[in-house]
């Protein structure tokens, strides 16, 4: 089965300023590569043959750099937003989507096996699958637990809470397009709330390997420091 992916690369990267004042966030460099090229190489390595980039902000730079994908032996084409449509809205602009396809943000670094994620979704005939990751958050204060009368009923000193978060990587069945409005901003959050209200099953697949969302300058600097050690893991055929 041929594999199709949509990379969401239309955001302005406002959280990563001042770096993104010149380059779109997916084009930020890591070693000899951009973040986006790392993703393309990974997808090609897992058997994806067709990648559509949903672009908006500085689309001409992205198109000039990646062209038709010949360099990576994949087909790359582009879907241009004339207005910001958030994360899920751009899917309605792509006319030739197959029954099942991968959708991901263009600023993700992970060692996820994209091929297995794709195949599991298809084999289980899911309508939507989310790749998830466990994150911990330490509260640097003593947490007071109170009742409805504001009386203390419990206390935790600097507790650590564990959360299951979306990695920004999804497998999607075409049926999902029926839940997305035309020509309106419609995000992942809107779609999830819509699917829950419509009692549609959404599969969540935990990934316990490496994952990093390069959203803020501190995040980017951390990945820069780690990249040499991670390069062989993320790009085994470098």
Q: What is the pLDDT of residues 139-150, one digit of tens each?
A: 999 999 999 999
Q: How far is CA 27 from the centre of its chain?
A: 15
Tens of pLDDT, residue by residue over 83-127, are 889 999 999 999 999 999 999 999 899 999 999 999 999 999 999
- Residue located via tokens 């893991």: 233
What are the two backbone dihedrals, phi and then psi, of residue 219, each rounded to the nearest 5 degrees?
A: -65, -45
Calpha distance 168→72 (Å, rounded): 23
Residue 32, C-beta contacts closer than 8 angstroms, at least 6 positions apart:
none
Which residue range forms the structural domain that includes residue 146?
3-234
Tens of pLDDT, residue by residue over 10-28, are 765 444 444 444 577 788 8
Strand, coil or helix: 109: strand
Q: Could you tell me which residue, 15 or 7, shows the higher pLDDT?
A: 7
Looking at the structure of the chain, the number of domains it has is: 1
Tell me the two tokens of residue 141: 């204060």
Instruction: Give the pTM.
Output: 0.89
pLDDT of residue 224: 83
User: Would you say residue 153 has pLDDT above 70?
Assistant: yes
Tens of pLDDT, residue by residue over 155-177, are 999 999 999 999 999 999 999 99
- Residue located via tokens 């564990």: 162
User: Would you say residue 185 has pLDDT above 60?
Assistant: yes
Q: Which of 118, 4, 2 is nearest to 54 (CA)?
A: 4
What integer is the mean pLDDT of 34-59?
93
Q: Could you tell me which residue, 29 or 131, shows the higher pLDDT?
A: 131
DSSP string covering 27-82: G-EETTEEHHHHHHHHHHHTTEEEEEEEE-TTHHHHHHHHTTSGGGTSEEEEEE-S
Tens of pLDDT, residue by residue over 216-231, are 777 788 888 888 888 8
- Residue located via tokens 């289980």: 124
Radius of gyration of the chain (CA): 19
pLDDT of residue 235: 86
Tens of pLDDT, residue by residue over 48-87, are 999 999 998 678 889 999 999 999 999 999 999 888 899 9
| The three-state (H, E, C) secondary structure of 152-192, written as one string | EEEEEECCEEEEEEEEEEEEEEHHHHHHCCCCCCCCHHHHH
CATH number at residue 53: 3.90.550.10
């Amino acid at each position: 089965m041929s594999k199709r992916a949509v990379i969401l690369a239309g955001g302005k990267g406002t959280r990563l300023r001042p770096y993104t004042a010149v380059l779109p966030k997916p084009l930020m460099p890591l070693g000899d590569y951009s973040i986006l090229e790392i993703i393309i190489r990974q997808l090609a390595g897992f058997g994806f043959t067709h990648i559509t980039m949903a672009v908006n902000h500085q689309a001409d730079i992205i198109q000039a750099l990646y062209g038709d994908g010949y360099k990576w032996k994949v087909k790359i084409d582009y879907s241009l937003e004339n207005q910001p449509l958030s994360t899920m809205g751009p899917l309605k602009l792509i006319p030739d989507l197959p029954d099942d396809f991968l959708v991901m943000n263009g600023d993700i670094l992970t060692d996820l096996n994209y091929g297995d994620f794709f195949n599991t979704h298809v084999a289980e005939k899911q309508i939507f699958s989310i790749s998830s990751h466990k994150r911990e958050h330490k509260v640097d204060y003593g947490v007071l637990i109170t009742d409805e009368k504001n009386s203390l009923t419990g206390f935790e000193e600097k507790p650590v809470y564990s959360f299951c978060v979306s990695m920004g990587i999804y497998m999607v069945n075409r049926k999902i397009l029926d839940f997305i409005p035309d020509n309106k901003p419609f995000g992942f959050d809107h779609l999830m709330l819509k699917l829950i209200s419509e009692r549609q099953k959404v599969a969540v697949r935990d990934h316990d390997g490496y994952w990093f969302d390069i959203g803020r300058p501190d995040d980017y600097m951390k990945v820069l420091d780690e990249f040499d050690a991670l390069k062989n893991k993320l790009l085994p055929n470098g």
